[in-house]
Structure 1
Amino acid sequence: MRPFFKPRLILPLTALLASCTVPTDPAPAYSSIGRLTAFDPSFHDIVAPDARIERLAEGFTWAEGPAWIPDGDRDSGYLLFTDVPENKLYRWSEADGLSVFLDPSGYGGPPDDTLREAGANGLHPEPAGTVLLADSGSRLVARLDPATKQKTPLATHFEDKRFNSPNDLVRRSDGTVFFTDPPYGLKDLDDSPAKELDFNGVYRLDPDGTVHLLDDGLTFPNGIALSPDERTLYVSNSDPDRPLWMAYTLDAEGTVQDGRVFADASDLVGDDSPGLPDGMAVAADGTLFATGPGGVLVLAPDGRRLGRIETGTAVANCAFGDDGRTLYMTSNDFIARVRVQAGGLNFPR
C-alpha cells in the first residue's frame, strides 16, 4: 500500500503530485544533427533507424584523420584527429572534452610557400600505443609517440624523390603499412613546382623500411583501408570526374595481384551532396563505411550501396571507437558520432 493511503496520514498536495510525476530522461549532452537515408532495407540492420548523429565539438577549418586510442581497455580511451589547414592535432574524450594535443602537427620549419596545407592528415593507432601519421605538410610517413609527442620518420622518398603529401594510411597486423600520396598538401596540386613525382601513388611500406609502389594510375588517391582478412586493400579516388573506390587483391607479401572498381559514386556527386570519396572504416563483417558525396556511405562487402549517414555537410573521414560500435566522423568544421550495430575493426592490430 502506498504511504499516502495509510489511515490518518495527510500529505500536502505538492508532495502528492511529486509522487505521481513520471521520471524523465536527462537532456542529451550533445545536439542531434543530420539524418539516415536507407537505400536498402538491410541498412537498418547496421545502423538503427533511431540512431542519433551527435555533434561533439566544432570550430575547425577542415577536420580529418580520426583515430581512437584505447586507454586500458576497449571501453575507454580518446579520439585523436587533425585539422590539416591549421596544422594542429586535437584530442577529444567524453571525460575531458577537447584540447590541442600537438601544434604543429605536421610541418614545423620556416615558412614554405610551396605548401597548401602544412598539417598532418590521416592517423592510425598501433598495438604498442604509438600512432602512424600521414604527415602531409612534412611530406612523409611518421610514427608518433603520444606519451612524448615525438615523431619518427618512417618513409620520406620513393626512388630518391620526395613524396607529394601523404594523406591516409592503414597498418596490417604484420606491421606492413599502406598509404596514399595525392598532391593536396601542395599549392597548385599537380602543377606545383615542388612536386617531384609525376604521378600520385598508392604505396606499401614494409617493416624493414622499403617502399613499394602499388598503383600510379589514380588521379587523387585518398582514403585507404583493409578488409577483415587483410587480403583486400580499399582505396578511394577523390576526383569529381571519377569518384570511386578501388579494391586490390593482395598476396601474403602485400603485392597487388589485381585491382577492380569496388563502387562508384558518380551519380551522387552534386551541390546537394557535399563531399567526395575520402576516408573509410571497415566493420568486422566486411561492411565498408566510406565517406563520399552526402556523408558516409555504407557499402556491403560486395560493393552494394546500403545507406548513408548524413551530417549535413561533407565528411572527410571516420573511425570506430568506444566499444567498437561508435562511428566517429570528422565532418568539415566539426566532429560527430553515431552508434552503429556493426562492430568496428580499426582498433590497434
Structure 2
Amino acid sequence: MKRYLPFLLMLPLGMYAYACSSNSSDNGGGTTNPPGGEPPGGSSGNPNPPGSSGNPNPGPGTDDPNQNPIDGIDQVKVILTTNEYTDGPIWHAGQKFLFFTTPLGASALYRMRADGTVKKIRDGSTTEANPMNTNTVDPAGNLVTIDALDVVRASAVGDAGAPEMVANGFVDKGTFQKFDSLKNGVVMKDGSMFLTDPGYGLNTLTANRIYRVAPDKTVTVMDSFEDIPRPTGLALNPDQTEVYVGFTQPMAGTLPYIRKYHVNEDGTLGESGKWVDIDPETSTPDGIEVDTHGNVYVATAQGINVYKSDATKIGVIAVPEQPTGMAFGGDDMKTLYITTQGINIWQVKLKVAGIAQ
C-alpha cells in the first residue's frame, strides 16, 4: 500500500455495501445488501469453537502436493463494492468473518460475512498520520490490527471494548523511539510477531526496518536498511521456519523483490537472501500469503503472482484493480479474498487451501 497516492473517497463504506449475486459477471455487478448490512451484533460465542481456531495453520496440505493451485480456476469476481481503497484482509475461522481496513482518509476496521454483508467495527485515528493498515489473528483468536504508529489487540467476538495496546515503539540505546509507519504484521505460534516499517512517514531514524514483538511485548529490531527498500508484505511458510518479506523500492536499477529469512529456534530472524525478483519495476509487491503446500502469493501491479516454494513462477491471477493484500478463507480455506487500490474486494476459489496469517 502507498499511503500517499492521490485518492478520491467516492462514497462512505458505511452507507453503501454490495454483495455479488449468483449471476454476477466477472467484472462486478453486485446486488445491494439488505438495509443495515450485517445483522446487529454479528456473531457471538466462543471465538474458537471445536474443530476450528482463530489463526488456523493446517500445516502441509493433504491434497496432491503437485496440484497447481490456479489451474482452471474461474476469473475473480466482486464480493463487495466499498468505493474505498481497502487493505489488511484476514479470515477469522472461529467467527467466519473476513476483517479488513480502509487505510486512507477516515480509516476504519470492518468485518464481512462470506455472503458479502459488512459491518463497521470501529473507526481508526482521526488523523491521517495513524491509519489502520493491516490485520492478523493471534493464537488465542484475538484480532491484531497494525496501525501506522502502533499495534493493538482486541477480541474478535461481537463488539468488544477498546483494544489493548501491544506496541507503539521500541527502545534504542536507552531511548524510546516511535515507529515510523508500520505496514504489515504476522503472528507466530508462540504469540510473537514480525512487523514491517517501510518508512512512509519519512522518519529515517526508525524507517525501513523489520521488528519482532515478543510475547511479553518487548520490541526488537530484526533487520534495518540504509538504501530505503521499503519492506512491506510478509508471510510465514507452513511450518513457520521461514518468513517472506517484500521490498517495493530497492536501489535504483534493481527490481522490487522478495527476500526469505530463516526463523531461528529462539524466534528471531536468521540468515536471509533474495528469493525472487518481481517484474516490472512498477510492480510494488505488497501483501504476501502462503498456502498449505508452500506456494507463495504476492500482490503486484500484474495481479496476484503465484510461485512455488523454490521461486518457480506458477502464473498470475488477473485482478481488474491493483491488489493491496489477500487472505485465504471460507470453510475449506480455498477462497482467496483480495483487497485493492480500487473500489472493490474480489474473490476467487483456488485448488489448494491456504493459511490464515
Q: Alignment partner for residue 101 of structure 2, among 76, 82, 89? A: 82
Aligned to 1:32: 26
Q: Residues of 2 paired with 1:288 and 1:81: CA distance? A: 21
User: Which whole-Å deviations, capped at 9, do the CAs of 1:135-156 have from their partners, x for residues lacking one?
Assistant: 11xx011112233142111111
- Contact 2:199–2:206 (CA<8 Å) still a contact in 1? no
- Contact 1:163–1:196 (CA<8 Å) still a contact in 2? no
**Residues 1:299 and 2:319 aligned together:** no
**Residues 1:152 and 2:164 aligned together:** yes
**Residues 1:221 and 2:231 aligned together:** yes
| Gaps in structure 2 of 5+ consecutive residues | 1-20, 29-64
Normalised to the residue count of structure 1, the TM-score between the two structures is: 0.76
**Residues 1:131 and 2:143 aligned together:** yes
After TM superposition, what 4+ stretches of structure 1 lie above 4 angstroms from structure 2?
A: none
Q: Deviation at 1:82?
A: 0.5
For the aligned residue pairs, the C-alpha RMSD in angstroms reads 2.3
Question: Counterpart of 2:322 in 1: which secondary structure?
Answer: coil
Letter in 2 for 1:32: D
Q: Alignment partner for residue 245 of structure 2, among 230, 235, 239? A: 235
**Residues 1:281 and 2:289 aligned together:** yes
Q: Deviation at 1:219?
A: 2.1
Q: What pairs up with 1:190-205 in 2 under 5 angstroms?
A: 190=202, 195=203, 197-205=205-213
Question: Counterpart of 2:323 in 1: which secondary structure?
Answer: coil
Range 144-153 or range 215-224, more displaced: 144-153
Letter in 2 for 1:122: T
**Residues 1:342 and 2:336 aligned together:** no
Q: Residues of 2 paired with 1:198 and 1:321: CA distance? A: 34
Aligned to 1:164: 180
Q: Deviation at 1:257?
A: 2.1
Q: Residues of 2 paired with 1:60 and 1:149: CA distance? A: 28
Q: Deviation at 1:290?
A: 1.0
User: Which whole-Å deviations, capped at 9, do the CAs of 1:274-306 have from their partners, x for residues lacking one?
Assistant: x52111111111100111131110011011111
> Which structure shows the bigger proportion of residues in helix conformation?
1
- Contact 2:98–2:114 (CA<8 Å) still a contact in 1? no
Letter in 1 for 2:326: C
Q: Deviation at 1:102?
A: 1.6
| Gaps in structure 1 of 5+ consecutive residues | 1-26, 35-41
- Contact 2:181–2:197 (CA<8 Å) still a contact in 1? yes
Change in 2 beyond 3 A, CA 1:343/1:95: closer
Aligned to 2:41: none
